[in-house]
Amino acid sequence: DTLQRHCLPVQRWGSRSTGAQLKPLCAFYALALGAATLCLELSPEFGLAGFLLLSSHHWGLSHSISAPQLSHGYRASARPLLLGAAIVSTLVLTHWTESIAFLQLLDPIHAKRMMRMIQVFGGVSVAGLTSTSCWEAIRRGSGCCWQGALKEVSLLLALLM
Q: What pLDDT shows up at residue 71?
A: 41
Q: Identify the pLDDT of residue 9.
A: 44
Pairwise CA distance, residues 123 & 120, whole Å: 5
Point out the residues of the chain with pLDDT beneath 50: 1-14, 67, 70-75
**Contact, 36 vs 72, CB < 8 A?**
no
pLDDT of 74 reads 44
Contacts of 137 by beta carbon, 8 Å cutoff, 6+ apart: 144, 146, 149
C-alpha–C-alpha distance, residues 69 and 46, integer Å: 31
- For residue 59, give every residue at least 6 positions away whose Cβ sits within 8 Å of its Cβ, in sequence order, or none: 83, 84, 87, 88
| Residue 130 CB neighbour total at 10 angstroms | 14
